[in-house]
Chain A
Amino acid sequence: MGEGKSDVLQGTLDLMVLKTLEALGPLHGYGIARRIEQVSGDVLSMNQGTIYPALLRLEQRGWITSQWGTSESNRRAKFYSLSRVGRKKIAEETENWERVAATMARFLAPSN
């Protein structure tokens, strides 16, 4: 783990994946991983490989679906896209996360 980088919090990766798919539409695993790294400004320390169990988890819950397709460089790759349930869950999960973040912020604010 490098200096100044944080681990990905349990549960946050799922939301990042969902938001990525919402923003960019169907995408393969590498694209999702890259997007997360770019958005986080390389602050998050994440092995790209960890994306795959997370994708599988989301697929098992029925929030995303997958399909084999062809990448921009003509390579066979598996593309993930949001399902209808997934779209609804984004709102729920976002609200959830904001509540947690707000609570954390209150704890971290200098006490007076």
Chain B
Amino acid sequence: MDWIRSMLSRFLTLFGRSKRDTELEEEMRAHLELATEENLRDGMSQAEARTAALRSFGGLTQTREAYRVQRGLPWPEQMSRELRFAGRALRKAPGFSLTAILTLALGIGAVTSVFSVVEAVLLKPFPFPDQDRLVVLREAVEDTSGRTTIPNNYRHVMRLKSTSATLEDVAIFGQHGASVSPDGSHPQVLGTLIASPNIFSVLGVQPILGRSFVDADARPGASPVVVLSYAGWQALFGGERGAIGSSLHIDGEAVTVVGILPAAMRFPQIRMAPSAKFQENARDTLLFEPLTPSDRDLHRDMGNFNYEAIARLKPRVTVSQASSELEALQNAYTLSAHLPLHFGIALAPLQKDVASGISGALWMLFAAVGTVLLIACVNLANLQLARAVNAQRETAVLAALGASRTQLVRSRLAESLLLALTGGAAGAALSIAGVRLLLALVPSGVPRLDEVHVSAPALVFAASVSMFAAIAFGILPGLRSLRVQPQTALYGHPARTANSREGNRARRIMVAGQVACTVVLLILTSLALRSFARLMNQNLGFDASQVTVAEADLFTPPYDQAGAKGNAVRLALADRIIGALRQLPGVQSVAITSVAPLTGETWVDNLQRPDHPVPEGQQPAINVRWIDPEYIPTMHTPVVAGRNFTSADRANPYVALISERTARDSFSGEDPLGHKILNLVPDDKHPITIVGVVADARINGLKDNAAMVYLPYWAFTPFTLSFLVRSPQPGDTLIPEIRHAIWTSDPRVAIPTIKSMDAQVSDSAATERFQAIVLTCFGMAALLLALLGVYGVLSYSVTLRRREFGIRIALGSGKRELIELVLRQAASPVLLGAGVGLGLAALLLRWTRSVFYDSPGLDPIAIGGSLLLLLAAASAAALIPARRAAAVDPMRALRIE
């Protein structure tokens, strides 16, 4: 009970402090007077009596101190006092404080911003129950060239689902864009998931309104239903409860809304295969429709690899256990069913899979920004060290007056803590702006961007970073300065002790560390910049300027019919739209292609030659594009051999153009012209004659030089058409005109995208641009900070050595020699740091090769350029203090003391 009473009474004394202080003073005064009187009575003189009283009392200050410690709550009391002192000390050195706080704020702000993105995109779990049991399931095919991951065959997945002992359940689905409108005209294209009815139970999601899917929804002939995401409900129905039971036109069909999902349920974008790139397809999934498997889905083991799948593992099953079980099941089935290819399984945890496309780039940024923070902290440590050295005399006086080591360390700690708190708070505030900036730069294809904000974990992270920075980079220099003996510091001139060998070494090691980090960052930055430049400057094989691309989706009746009838209506519509677009003012040419450029691999098939049969599975893969005769001239892609399509081919459309790469892959050493190929036109066995070879063009993606086969749209008109319009008109006039022309031809056509091809090119390099811009910022920041470090250390040491320089000049030393002396002093840490940085970069280069596009293992220009930049900048930074050293006036320098 005693301690409660004690604490209470101590707590109460936190208030009314000054009254208690005066009371103690009065009590001590009474004490001394009583003692003096007694001494006087013993026959001492007045002075003797007073001195004796003071002597037997002991230290007045110590008593006050002990009394106060006993009086108050020790921790908050001391802490707030130390912080007050520290605040006063920092206010007295505004230059130092501002530099330190700014450095910390920038470093912490940058790190916290990047961490916020990393946290939302890579670390934060999905809001699904037991989300760590969710895995993305894909098939894998092994052939001589290695193992390729591919989307799933429906039948294979169903077989695995029924035989596996490690999977609780599997949902199979496809992600699409669907033409959606309330009444069927002027549809928007919205992200739609067509999934097996168990999708919500696999994910563990319950609708907040209406119902989930039931198995009957997926039976052939069932009345069509749709479940909306929360965002879809808001967008299409304004969040009205009456949405349940109302109907939507999806791809021309009236569908009943049966359920609404919770707001937290955001379905991630899952790639068909790790190599596939989403551009235009990267839409938020707003609609969920049940998947009714076709006959083809149910019965075909080969081809038809069209689905994605998410599985839920049984409790306590690891991904590797499930992986090996499923792999064995697939292998066994491959053998027993005599499949012509060897199939395996690739499992990846959902969270990891969704982030896999961007995680390398993000982690690299995080590492880069961490390095910047580290360099900033080293600068801070240097500043602190210089400050501690300056304060050495003061510290020594305090120590001589009886301040304990703990007290001295505590006051250093308080100062660092105050800096860290202020810097950290400013950094957290900065990170709000930083996150906004990053979001403006981040490529839109990055998953879960809408979840990025400065969150509690990010702030906790910022707080711990600043605490760490405070302790590591504030206390250590402080401790070092305490090692100085009071005598040395008191008797010696501060400059002499400060410039002790040991202090110098510590600072030079720090500079070397900064330089090493900066070299690594600069090399990374220049690699990123050069890779980005290569990406943008490479020969694309087509000319994007002044071309606008408009996608049109024909998934609504009457265009969605299969067979010759559907083909005929689509062909007629395509011709009508081309006609309308040609009428637009200023249009030079209009072309058609089945797939908008730079939207990834699509319509992948195998090239089969009747004159050169190759076993199934070993035929070279090609991408098929359905085009018109205007496509090649509109894209400015040269015809290398043979001829382009002409309108004369319309009567007999079984002709093909191939790209140079296709010619190499499939006709190596032969002249492909006149050769026949088989089975490329759907539902048609007509052989096709190659009439021309065109130059390679990177129309799938900037990094991808795929083998292409171009066929005329007369042979087959696909369900997605992209119109390419070459016109010098600006986009803001042209784009509405194009939209109007398409919708005048038929308002039921959905137009998912209209944009200039230049924008398309630029968007498809968004990740690289993001990387290049952000890395450049960080690289420059690192360089600047390192220069400040070099400059700070040198100029500080020059100031301290003024006397020495004065003597040297007085003894006849030339300016040149002095400058050389200082530069030599700078050279060793800079060169050492550069060497260490090169070594680190060499270790990193192996990894960056996979991150940066088309990056040579050793890029001498990037590495040499970075080194040169650093050395030039470091010499400039060192030259300023060196010149100052040479300009020392010997008379004044010597007279200072």
Contact = CB atoms under 8 A, between A and B. Distances in A.
Interface of A: 28-31, 33-34, 47-50, 52-53, 56-57, 59-62, 71, 73, 75-78
Interface core residue of A31, A53, A57, A73 (most chain B CB under 10 Å): A53
B62 to A, nearest CB: 7
Given A77-B31, A78-B30, 13 more contacts: A30-B30, A30-B34, A49-B58, A49-B60, A49-B66, A50-B58, A52-B24, A52-B28, A57-B6, A61-B2, A62-B2, A73-B37, A76-B26
Contact of B27 (A50, A57, A59, A78): A78
B63 interface: yes
Contact of B59 (A29, A49, A60): A49
A29 B25 CA distance: 13
Contacts of A61: 2, 5-6
A60 B5 contact: yes
Contact of B30 (A47, A57, A59, A71): A71
Given A53-B66, A53-B70, A56-B71, A47 B59 contact: yes
A99 B524 CA distance: 74
Interface string B7-40: 0011000000000000110111011011101100
B56 A56 contact: no
16 contacts: A28-B34, A29-B31, A30-B35, A31-B34, A34-B38, A47-B62, A48-B57, A49-B28, A52-B67, A53-B63, A61-B2, A61-B5, A62-B5, A71-B34, A75-B34, A77-B30
Nearest to A62: B5
B57 A47 contact: yes
A49 B24 CA distance: 11
A73 B34 contact: yes
B66 A50 contact: yes
A53 to B, nearest CB: 4
A53 B60 CA distance: 12
A30 B37 CA distance: 12
Contact of B58 (A34, A48, A56): A48
A79 B31 CA distance: 11
A73 B36 CA distance: 12
Given A28-B30, A30-B34, A60-B9, A78 B23 contact: yes
A87 B38 CA distance: 30
B70 A57 contact: yes
A46 to B, nearest CB: 8
Given A48-B57, A50-B58, A50-B66, A76 B30 contact: yes
B580 to A, nearest CB: 94
A28 B783 CA distance: 68
Interface of B, helix, strand, loop or mixed by DSSP: helix
Contacts of B60: 49
Contacts of B35: 30, 48
A47 B28 CA distance: 13
B63 A75 contact: no
Interface core residue of B2, B24, B38 (most chain A CB under 10 Å): B2
Contacts of B28: 49, 52
Nearest to B20: A56
B27 A52 contact: yes
Interface core residue of A28, A29, A48, A62 (most chain B CB under 10 Å): A48
Contacts of B26: 76, 78
B4 to A, nearest CB: 10
A52 B37 contact: no
Contacts of B63: 47, 49-50, 52-53
Contacts of B37: 73
Contacts of B27: 29, 52, 77-78
A76 B38 CA distance: 16
A75 B30 contact: yes
Nearest to A78: B27
Contacts of B9: 59-60
Contacts of A56: 67, 70-71
Interface core residue of B24, B27, B60 (most chain A CB under 10 Å): B27
What 9 pairs across the A-B complex have the smallest Cβ distances?
A: A47-B58, A49-B63, A30-B34, A49-B58, A77-B30, A53-B66, A53-B70, A30-B31, A60-B9
A59 to B, nearest CB: 8
Contacts of A52: 24, 27-28, 63, 66-67
Contacts of B69: 53
Nearest to A71: B34
A48 B53 CA distance: 9
A101 B51 CA distance: 37
A37 to B, nearest CB: 8
Given A48-B35, A78-B27, A53 B67 contact: yes
Contacts of A31: 34
Nearest to A49: B63
Nearest to A72: B34
Nearest to B56: A48
Nearest to A33: B31
A77 B23 CA distance: 10
Contacts of A78: 23, 26-27, 30
Contacts of A75: 30, 33-34
A61 B4 CA distance: 9
A14 to B, nearest CB: 12
Given A47-B57, A52-B28, A76-B26, A60 B6 contact: yes
A73 B33 CA distance: 10
Nearest to A48: B57
A38 to B, nearest CB: 12
A49 B34 contact: no
Contacts of A29: 27, 30-31
Contacts of A57: 6, 70
Contacts of A77: 27, 30-31, 34
A57 B70 CA distance: 7
